[in-house]
Amino acid sequence: MHGVLIIDKPHGMTSAAVVGEVRRRGEISSAGHTGTLDPIATGVLPICVGTATKLAQWLTAEDKAYEATIELGVETDSYDVEGTVTRRDPDGAARVDRAAVERVLAELARTTEQVPPMHSAIKQGGV
């Protein structure tokens, strides 16, 4: 089999585990994803198989778009939904106005260097 499979990665699976499932179920020896999604993330995960693995370098160079749902007024020790809540401000959302949110979103709508959270799929020391 050769081509690009568009997988809707479920919550809880690593991108590598999804590739492993594709290889196992499709009896495919050559397969790879075009960019890691953290285990808690869901969404589109293109998997190149067979000779299409040569396309991965161009697919990874493209811009990506992200969509998120947030809860204002809650802070966790891991900065994500899976951490332990360390602070809760029930009035936090009430103090945020639309103009402030739009200013922050405008700043985020550009290329940024992101500091990864403590729990992420980023490699450290080659691991």
Q: Is 38 designated active site? A: yes
Backbone φ and ψ for 46, nearest 5 degrees, come out as: -70, 135
DSSP, res 83: S
* Total Cβ atoms within 10 A of residue 45: 22
Tell me the pairing of strands 31-33 and 43-49: antiparallel
Given the residues 8, 38, 63, 77, select the one marked as catalytic. Answer: 38
The catalytic residue positions are: 38
